[in-house]
Structure 1
Amino acid sequence: MSFHSRIGRAGGTKIKRALGVQAALEWAFRVEKAQLELPLPQDVTEDGFGFGLEYVLLQRAALGCKVDGGQHKIGGYTHEDAEVIAATVAGIPDSLGGKRMAIRVAELARAGLTPDWMPGAVPRCLPVEVKRNQHGERASTIVVGTERVLTRGKWRTVEVLACPVTFSPHPHQIDTARRAYDDWWQALGWIRDGLISGEMLRDVEVTSAMPVPQPWTRGRAPG
């Protein structure tokens, strides 16, 4: 069923399609092929570049004009709500990641993905190198020193061996992945609040639903 066929009327009131913010983003970027138009750097004038979509939307909202869609989607019409959503994403503030986060949000939505927070990842201590032969596998060792030992009444010099180890995945990798997920989640919260308070969407209603916050803590015993 197409997007427009889901819009009906009940008692003369237009029924909007209710979507959580992640679903709304995926609809805008993945289905409607909305394009992300980022604001120009402050040291670049808009002469010769044209006004960004966000600026146009704000001006049209101030004038009470309808937003015209269709200028971006190749071979078809881009729904105006999708363009409003894309413009909102472009306005993510620097405190939440700015342009880089906007690009990240749009890329994930276009691919229909959620950031990989490395579910189930637990650092494991592993040898840095493993040698294989006909007898199987064994961890490689290195000489870290020598010791004098008394063997059968004689002093001998023996090498002290150690097995270099590493942690995989490294705890830093897991922490980085989970911070990135949390940053994305915070950005989606900002987008959700902006779309709800802005009241600029005609056919879509963004609900308060959000992706799971810090899913790696689910099922963990309190303590």
Structure 2
Amino acid sequence: MSFQRRISRQGGTRVKRALGVQAALEWAFRVEKAQLELPLPEDVAEEGFGFGLEYVLLQRAALGCKIDGGQYKIGGYTHEDAEVIAATVAGIPDSLGGKRMAIRVAELARAGLTPDWMPGAVPRCIPVEVKRNQHGERATTIVVSTDRVLSRGKWRTVEVLACPVTFSPHLQQIEAARRAYDDWWQALDWIRDGLVAGAQLRDLEVMAVMPKVRPWVARASITS
């Protein structure tokens, strides 16, 4: 569905454009360049305080990610529905991630991305280190002990070698990626419900359709 399609009118009744919540977010932040206005920090009580460049830079450093600049289109107009969507995103409650999640949702929408839940990832046992030379590659070994063995009628001391291994990707990495996806999904569910209940959108209608919930579960059932 094109994001540029004009809203038509039939018989004087406005025909709303139907979008899922993820598509609506991408339209607002990617196409309309809506601005994400985050709530004031609790320790800021001055009237008229705004989020200046210094605050944005501090937040970038603290959160370890790029904050959505949300700049308006030069010489253009940001649709009021996009502003409503951005305001809803900014209101994500702390129980669902608060400001950090609002930034995450906006950044993903602006990039047109879904969180990477590491599809198909399975922990695999691999050597910690591999050495390569003209003969190929081999796993690095370490001496873990020594032992006495009888060889050709003589007792000899030999080194007992072991190959250090690790699991990659680590199970915790996969679980963390999927928790992050689930947190994002919960935030989108809250945003969708808020937009529907608020009934503030003029030209858009947010549909019930959502991104797949825990897609790794469905994938596992198919492959099993």
Give the shorter-chain TM-score range. 0.7 to 0.9
Distance 1:2 1:123, change over 3 A: closer
Give the residue type in structure 2 aligned to 1:188: L
Structure 2 unaligned blocks of 5 or more: 52-70
1:45 deviates by 1.3
Match of residue 119 from structure 1: 119
Q: State the Cα distance separating 1:137 from its structure 2 match.
A: 1.2
Partner SS, residue 138 of structure 2: strand
Alignment of 1:66-105 (within 5 A): 72-105=72-105
1:11 deviation in Å?
Answer: 3.2
Hey, what's the Cα distance between the residues in 1 that align with 2:3 and 2:188? 25
CA distance in 1, matches of 2:3, 2:159: 74
Aligned length: 203
Query: Aligned-pair distance for 1:2?
Result: 6.8
Question: Secondary structure at the residue paired with 2:84?
Answer: helix
Q: How far has the Cα of 1:150 moved from its partner? A: 1.6
Q: Secondary structure at the match of 2:179?
A: helix
- Matched AA of 1:83: E
Q: Which amino acid aligns with 2:129?
A: E
Match of 1:65 in 2: none
Match of 1:35 in 2: 35
Paired letter, 2:136: G
TM-score of the two chains, using structure 2 as the length reference? 0.85
Distance 2:196 2:88 in 1: 11
CA distance in 2, matches of 1:138, 1:209: 50
Change in CA separation of 1:73 and 1:122 when aligned onto 2, cut-off 3 Å? same
Instruction: Please state how far the C-alpha of 1:160 moved relative to its aligned partner.
Output: 0.5
CA distance in 1, matches of 2:74, 2:12: 34
Point out 4+ residue stretches in structure 1 off by more than 4 angstroms. none
TM-score, normalising length from structure 1? 0.86
RMSD, aligned CA: 1.9
What is residue 26 of structure 1 aligned with on the other side? 26
Q: Deviations over 1:182-204 (max 9, x none)?
A: 10000000000000000000001
User: Which AA in structure 2 matches 1:213?
Assistant: V
Q: 2: distance between equivalents of 1:110 and 1:141? A: 47
Query: Which residue of 2 is the match for residue 15 of structure 1?
Result: 15
Q: CA deviation at 1:136?
A: 1.4
Output the CA distance in 1 between the equivalents of 2:159 and 2:129: 19
Residue 66 of structure 1: aligned partner? none
Query: Helix, strand or coil: the match of 1:122?
Result: coil
